[in-house]
């Protein structure tokens, strides 16, 4: 099991902007993440925390 605390620390908060709101129509979500996080880490964190399958980062 991944370290839940470490995964939660990678994803800081969802971004709420005009562009992010437009992307919601296409089921694309935006998050602020730790700048040191890699794409595989971000994918793993989102998939684990939200129980979804990430298509692209």
Do the Cβ atoms of 15 and 31 come closer than 8 Å? Answer: yes
Point out which residues pair with 14 in neighbouring strands: 31
SS3 8: helix
Which CATH superfamily hosts domain 4-50?
RRM (RNA recognition motif) domain (3.30.70.330)
Per-residue pLDDT of 12-47, as tens digits, reads 999 999 999 999 999 999 999 999 999 999 999 999
Question: How far is it, in rounded angstroms, from Cα 54 to Cα 44?
Answer: 9
| pLDDT(10) > 60 | yes
The widest CA-to-CA distance across the chain, in whole angstroms, is: 36
| pLDDT(53) > 90 | yes
Predicted pLDDT at 3: 77
Report residue 9 as tokens.
């620390």
For the chain, the structural domain boundaries read 4-50
Predicted pLDDT at 5: 81
Half-sphere exposure of 18 (CA within 13 A, CB side): 0
Predicted pLDDT at 31: 95
Predicted pLDDT at 8: 84
């Amino acid at each position: 099991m991944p370290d839940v605390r470490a995964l939660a620390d990678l994803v800081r908060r969802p971004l709420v902007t005009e562009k992010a709101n437009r992307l919601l129509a296409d089921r694309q979500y935006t998050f602020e993440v730790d700048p040191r996080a890699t794409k595989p880490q971000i994918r793993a964190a989102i998939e684990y925390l939200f129980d979804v399958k990430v298509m692209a980062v």
